[in-house]
Structure 1
Amino acid sequence: MTEYSVISDAEEFLAACAALADGTGSVAVDVERASGFRYSQRAYLVQVFRRDAGVFLFDPPAIGDFSPLQEAIGSAQWVFHAASQDLPSLRELGLEPATIFDTELASRLLGHERVGLGAVVEDTLGIVLKKEHSAADWSTRPLPAAWLEYAALDVLHLIDVQEALIAELDEQGKAEFAAEEFAATLSRPPKPPREDPWRRLSGLHQVRGSRNLAVARELWRAREAFAQEQDVSPGRLVPDRSLVAAVLGNPQSKSALAGIKEFQGRASRTQIDRWWQAIVDGRATEELPRERVPSDALPPPRAWADRNPEADARLKAARPVVEGIAAELGMPTENLLTPEYLRRVCWDLPGTTPEEIGAALAALGARPWQIAQTAQKIADAFVEAAQSPDEAPAPAS
């Protein structure tokens, strides 16, 4: 087993940056977080590999300023596996690639049945990676040697994988498809914060009434504040199901709250004053939440036949057509066209020409290659769906 160490002091960090700057070709980058353990999604380890330089494992909390690394590798292409997962944590460190290559996304476009990193490395290079530490608490210090080897292997083979996938993309005529997808991933803005994030509480559908929803909201807010203060994943303090159980149990005293069997978690009893105060605040507030929140989300397709029969006919005509194009291209349907985009143009009917449908898809976020592959055939399907039995061509005698 190769021994790897974590770079945490300034002198080592600058030496590593100099080595990476002198390396050749693309740069493989990966990030390890502590999801499920910590409140934040910050990076607790950044792994970088470049040919003629080697593998380097950086300790973000200890290093702090990553601008020397940005300067060293910023102009090179960065290679990721599932870039959208790592880019937010890297941007938090001030690390921003100019261009990227995403081996997971490329594998999807190529129609690979398995697209996890271990599977892609095995399928392209014949190398088997052990993936037993993927859900580890990477905020642990010191990091065990086995974890460091696992982290290093996440980037060690990525440039070789990239080269194999580039050859496949060229062979299948999908290089431009991939380039547009990578650019879209890199330029995609972060999702705006949810208006009422507390409504994502698992089991909240059991809670009835604005007053009880207010209690649930205050319990969620109290847990969120404490989790952020402690930098601990909220669910590790008190699980969602326990907060909902506290609302449904309707305790009339602090001791009654503590006596609810389902109210569990490492902080359920040690912070009982905090949770009881949240319940009191929820019962007293005049800021009552709405029981039903207006949404611009489309109804589920199973309801379309009653709600919008014409849209239902369009979807039933267009969906198999798009699925057929995806099958011909050898890729998952969702990578050819986001299903929500197809549902939206079927429901809203921006027009029946390829140009009108293409413009609507572009406004939703579809890439030019996706529009080129689908707009004409969706338009044809819409025309077919609009034909009544009387208008349909007569069968040949």
Structure 2
Amino acid sequence: MEDLTALQSATTSALLATTRTASHLANSDLPYHRSLDAELSSALDAQNARLLTVAERLLGTATRSTAETGVRSHAPRLRSIDGVEGNWRAVVDVVDSLLERADTALDEFTGAVRRLSPAVAEQQKVGTVAGGGVKPGRIAAALRNRDIEKPQLRFEHVPRNDETEVFAPLLESKPHATKPLVDVQALEQPYQREIEEFRYQDSVYTQVEPIPYHPFESTTATFVDTEEAMYEMLGELEQATEVAIDLEHHDQRSYIGIVSLMQISTRDKDWIVDTLKPWRRKLHCLNEVFANPGILKILHGAYMDVMWLQRDLGLYLVGLFDTHYACRALGYSGGSLAFLLKKFAHVDAQKQYQMADWRIRPLPQELFDYARSDTHYLLYIFDNMRNELIQRSDFTKPNHEGDKLWDVLQKSSETALQRYEHPVYDAELGQGPVGWYKLLARTPALLNKEQFAVFRAVHKWRDDVAREQDDSVHFVLPNNHIFSLAKQIPETKEGALNTAHPATQTVRFRLDELLAVVRSAKENGKDGDDMMDVLNRIEPQLPRKIAREVAAAHSVAAFLPKPSTPAVNGANPTSSILPLRSATSAFWGLALASTAPQERRGYSTAVPSISLTVPLPPLTAEIFADPPEPTYTPVRAASPEPTAVALEDDGHDDIFVLKQLGTKRKRAAREAEPRDAMMDGMAANNDEVAIMPDSDAERAREKAERKKARKEAKRAQRATSAAGGLNYDDPVVDEDQPFDYASAPSILHPPRESREEVRERTKKVVNPYAKSSDVPKALGRVQKERSGRSMTYKS
């Protein structure tokens, strides 16, 4: 203990001195001192290189594999200051790992944690988990563990990830075969004939009482991790008539994925099979049950399970019933297994373990129970769904039109007929499950030649690296980073790390390699393929679809040209590709466009000259020519609801104005006019424009009558004002009459009112908001409950 205290004191003093020195240097203006003294600048460069070398050696020592941890990791490279910034996250990870190991060692030294003996530790590492596993307190640390050694490296057949030939089935024998294995063709599913000729037993169409499941708490599952346990399980499975099957798959640290666990349940027992053992391919002996037409196999969402079973274990399903298709046939609101567990077994699935790392060994108890629950209740769920399918089916219709159960069985058989194939990369057209075509088709993006070349090159680089490292492509580089790199086309390490942020571990380690791929693709893309030309070769309608989606996203759909006319006889027209940018404009002439990629940060040193002039079309004499004189003729309006119009004379003989009728002032003026003048304006009600007579005497007479009517209206208004009120039934005074400012009351010096006048005026004023404050008040704001520290009140 004294040695530990002395070591701790010496280490603390050294760390404090180092921290003070680093802080002092950080506060100094080193660039200024470099500019004054060349020798100092050289000395600083030498010390910088020495410190980087020492730091890199220390990181290499810290990340070196040890027999105790069994974890292999790569030390970050610190060649320069840029290397420190680019690999800073990796440096932090190494330091965190050292601190955790130091804490563990200190706990063991002080006795806070007792180290297990080597025999007990080895037993926990390779021992079975018969309903056991690690303690519940270790589940959180186990789920976060990402440094698990890849189990596929210990397989007898290590995945190669570079197979391009036809997938060869892993079968050594073919149980329950009607067609021998030697007669199976290369492109044929080994059990294709057996699945197509299979007929479900009559018991599937029999409605019986569901068989209850055994209580989950009072039963357990058998963990199968030895060959002896596997054969023992096989003997019990052969006695069953229905079995429930499910798989747990891991696809993060494996290129093609890996089946990590298999759950099998009968009416009376559950098994959890460890499929990460080196002898895992010997599990193909389970075809004695899986391919047995007398045993019904119940799975939920078996589309991918069928492929994984063929790829990893050489297992095939004859007599499959997929409860997912039953959910769709019955029209359930949900189609997941968690929905069925809640509906029929009243069990809440622990979704926090759904995305767990199923490679963890020994298997924690929480993961063990979660995996077991997937199949423990599935046979009981099948009984209920089968009865409901029979009840809701109409067996009287021909050709199975009303048979819902028959539809489920047919779709289940089609799922079982799938055949696994190696993922082959198509760099030219991006076809296949790992190609770039689907990614580009799902994402509306318009890329020029250079960007499209970078996109394809980076996508190919990601696939090559993932195959080499045996990691998933998303672990190497996410999809959104590929688009970012293609659009930005960074030239420096800093630009690449900023574009692909947060950078993955693979990108940080192979950044130089990635930048070389980007630069080469950019150079080759100048004369490379056009994105729309390549997509048009694959699917002629896709370029137009992408253009529409991009236009809708940027609200420029109105500026895109209309689709071209389809060709005759179904042939693709030569202009089937929707032009994304026009070379000329009908008004502006040549379009101003630039296809040069823009950097995310900073600006290029070679800035082109920017023209601020706008090219206008040539101005000809026709532009300034007067428009032709309009000719007015009586026109029959096409509107079903005509608008009444009339003619108003403003004193000129050759000009008339059409105005819409309908205002109160015009109606009042029209009532005051003689009947013959009103008849002249009724032509508008017949949907025709009324033309006033050309007689000078007639126009003079109408003008005199209107003037007389206005005088009478003024006389009546003055009489009303003198009486102390307004008569709203009288015509309104013409707005053309000038305002009499002399007789108007003063605004700055209004006449003073007497007290009696004020009292009389205020009596008539009504305040509509006088009683608005008499309503009952609402409750005060209630103090809400807050998480964390509670509140204590003292009297």
Structures share a fold, TM > 0.5? yes
Q: Note if contact 2:290-2:315 (Cα within 8 Å) is conserved in structure 1.
A: no
Deviation at 1:260, TM superposition (A): 4.2
Q: Note if contact 2:260-2:275 (Cα within 8 Å) is conserved in structure 1.
A: yes
Instruction: Tell me the residue number matched to 2:779.
Output: none
Q: 1:199 aligns with which of 409, 431, 437?
A: 437
- After superposition, the Cα gap between the structure-2 partners of 1:199 and 1:171, relative to the gap in structure 1 and judged at 3 Å, is same
Residue by residue, what CA displacement relative to the aligned partner does 1:152-194 show, whole Å, maximum 9, x if unpaired?
Answer: 1101111111111110010011222222222222235569977
Deviation at 1:139, TM superposition (A): 2.5
Instruction: Tell me the residue number matched to 2:275.
Output: 60
- After superposition, the Cα gap between the structure-2 partners of 1:205 and 1:297, relative to the gap in structure 1 and judged at 3 Å, is closer
Instruction: Tell me the residue number matched to 1:137.
Output: 357
- Report the AA paired with residue 34 of structure 1: H
Instruction: Tell me the residue number matched to 1:176.
Output: 406
**Distance in 1 (alpha carbons) for counterparts of 2:254 and 2:529:** 29
Q: Note if contact 2:307-2:418 (Cα within 8 Å) is conserved in structure 1.
A: no
**Looking at both structures, which has the greater relative contact order when contacts are Cα pairs under 8 Å and sequence separation is at least 6?**
1
Number of paired residues? 304
| 1:274 maps to 2:513 | yes
Q: Note if contact 1:251-1:257 (Cα within 8 Å) is conserved in structure 2.
A: yes
Instruction: Tell me the residue number matched to 1:50.
Output: 266
What do you get for the CA RMSD once the two structures are aligned?
3.2
**Distance in 2 (alpha carbons) for counterparts of 1:65 and 1:221:** 35
Q: Note if contact 1:218-1:278 (Cα within 8 Å) is conserved in structure 2.
A: yes
Instruction: Tell me the residue number matched to 1:167.
Output: 387
Instruction: Tell me the residue number matched to 2:327.
Output: 107
Q: 1:85 aligns with which of 297, 300, 304?
A: 304
Deviation at 1:201, TM superposition (A): 4.2
- Equivalent residue of 1:161, what SS? helix
**Distance in 1 (alpha carbons) for counterparts of 2:358 and 2:318:** 27
Unaligned runs of 5+ in 2: 1-216, 394-403, 550-561, 565-795
| 1:291 maps to 2:542 | no
Q: Note if contact 1:21-1:73 (Cα within 8 Å) is conserved in structure 2.
A: no
Deviation at 1:7, TM superposition (A): 2.1
- Equivalent residue of 1:132, what SS? helix
Residue by residue, what CA displacement relative to the aligned partner does 1:201-259 show, whole Å, maximum 9, x if unpaired?
Answer: 47964452223212121211221222223332222232222232223232234454345
Q: Note if contact 1:79-1:162 (Cα within 8 Å) is conserved in structure 2.
A: yes
Q: Note if contact 1:46-1:57 (Cα within 8 Å) is conserved in structure 2.
A: yes
Residue by residue, what CA displacement relative to the aligned partner does 1:338-377 show, whole Å, maximum 9, x if unpaired?
Answer: xxxxxxxxxxxxxxxxxxxxxxxxxxxxxxxxxxxxxxxx
Bigger CA radius of gyration: 2
| 1:248 maps to 2:468 | no
Alignment of 1:1-397 (within 5 A): 4=221, 6-22=223-239, 24-36=240-252, 38-52=254-268, 54-62=269-277, 63-75=280-292, 76-92=295-311, 93-173=313-393, 174-188=404-418, 195-196=429-430, 197-201=435-439, 205-206=444-445, 208-254=447-493, 256-258=495-497, 260=499, 262=501, 264-285=503-524, 288-292=528-532, 293-294=535-536, 295=539
Q: Which structure features the higher share of helix residues?
A: 1
- After superposition, the Cα gap between the structure-2 partners of 1:113 and 1:209, relative to the gap in structure 1 and judged at 3 Å, is same
- Equivalent residue of 1:57, what SS? strand
**Distance in 2 (alpha carbons) for counterparts of 1:259 and 1:140:** 34
- After superposition, the Cα gap between the structure-2 partners of 1:279 and 1:261, relative to the gap in structure 1 and judged at 3 Å, is closer
Deviation at 1:141, TM superposition (A): 2.8
Q: Note if contact 2:220-2:270 (Cα within 8 Å) is conserved in structure 1.
A: no
**Distance in 2 (alpha carbons) for counterparts of 1:281 and 1:139:** 39
**Distance in 2 (alpha carbons) for counterparts of 1:284 and 1:16:** 61
Q: Note if contact 1:242-1:263 (Cα within 8 Å) is conserved in structure 2.
A: no
- Report the AA paired with residue 79 of structure 1: I
- Report the AA paired with residue 276 of structure 2: P
- After superposition, the Cα gap between the structure-2 partners of 1:154 and 1:259, relative to the gap in structure 1 and judged at 3 Å, is closer
**Distance in 1 (alpha carbons) for counterparts of 2:452 and 2:498:** 21
**Distance in 2 (alpha carbons) for counterparts of 1:186 and 1:288:** 43
Q: Note if contact 1:20-1:73 (Cα within 8 Å) is conserved in structure 2.
A: no
Deviation at 1:297, TM superposition (A): 5.8
